[in-house]
Amino acid sequence: DQQVKQNSPSLSVQEGRISILNCDYTNSMFDYFLWYKKYPAEGPTFLISISSIKDKNEDGRFTVFLNKSAKHLSLHIVPSQPGDSAVYFCAASAYNNNDMRFGAGTRLTVKP
Amino acid sequence: GAVVSQHPSRVICKSGTSVKIECRSLDFQATTMFWYRQFPKQSLMLMATSNEGSKATYEQGVEKDKFLINHASLTLSTLTVTSAHPEDSSFYICSATPTGTSNQPQHFGDGTRLSIL
């Protein structure tokens, strides 16, 4: 039962360009969405989040967009840097953190 | 910021061994901690929710007698993989959220790579 889907397993982008990572969800009860970044052999690191009352949240080079009607969110990284190369997980929860569901992840490679 | 420490980072042991993994919140109290499992190139799958002072809540398909969880204090949860077999080999990660917060990101440990020979 994949309630959170990241359909692109990988993405390759040139340094300085925009990286767009996509995520879809099926559970309309989700009201809190997060993006995590993960390096090999490490736990995920929180990157940015958005609540369902908003459609955009920006933090430096990272912006998350939420389209509730389409049950879709995306993470934009601009400009992309080689250090951004990692696996990015989309996550969603309903009402609180007790039932957070993760997508399968997208491996981002930023080429110098 | 909130820090979660997980130990050990890597375990290699023989089939039939029981392995204990610790998850500690270092600078906050966590009434609830979460245990995830990740297979190669797959998502983080929630195994169970660990509740301080009470029984853990297991996700469907996760054997509670196989994966024993103890949350004895507000800063420590342990996951014991009992009589581990090669199919239990995986990457196990814990997370926690400070007590009394809602709609806040979970903070993850660095994970434990378990390899059963």
The CB density around residue A45, as the number of other CB atoms within 10 Å, is 15
Flag the least confident range among A56-60, A106-110, B98-102, B112-116.
Answer: B98-102
Among all residues of chain B, which has the CA nearest to that of A6? B43
User: Residue B8: is the preceding peptide bond cis (ω within 30°)?
Assistant: yes
Q: Are B97 and B30 in contact (CB under 8 A)?
A: yes
Query: CA B74 to CA B79: how far, in whole Å?
Result: 15
Q: Residue B110 has what pLDDT?
A: 92
Q: Residue B17 has what pLDDT?
A: 95
Of B69, B70, B77, the closest CA to residue B33 belongs to B77
Q: Residue B84 has what pLDDT?
A: 95
Q: Residue A97 has what pLDDT?
A: 53
Asked if the Cβ–Cβ distance from A34 to B103 is below 8 Å, we say no
Using a 10 angstrom Cβ sphere, with 0-12 exposed, 13-18 middle and 19 or more buried, the burial of residue A94 is middle
Chains A, B: CB contacts under 8 A, how many? 61
Q: Residue B51 has what pLDDT?
A: 87
- With a cut of 70, list the residues of chain A below it in pLDDT: 1, 95-98
Between B101 and A38, the more confident residue is A38
Structure tokens at B50: 């660990």
Amino acid of residue A65: F
Distance from A81 to chain B by nearest Cα, in Å?
23
Query: CA A82 to CA A52: how far, in whole Å?
Result: 31
Which residues of chain B are at the A interface, by a Cβ-Cβ cutoff of 8 Å? 4, 6, 9, 32, 34, 36, 41-46, 49, 93, 95, 97, 102-111, 113
Q: Residue B100 has what pLDDT?
A: 76
Between B53 and B20, the more confident residue is B20
Average pLDDT of the residues in B40-50 = 86
Asked if the Cβ–Cβ distance from A103 to B107 is below 8 Å, we say no
Among all residues of chain B, which has the CA nearest to that of A97? B103
Burial B58-95 (b: 16+ CB within 10 A, else e): beeebeeeebbbebeebbbbbbebeebeeebbbbbbbb
The pLDDT tens digits for B46-89 are 999 998 888 899 999 999 999 999 998 999 999 999 999 999 99
Query: CA B92 to CA A59: how far, in whole Å?
Result: 30
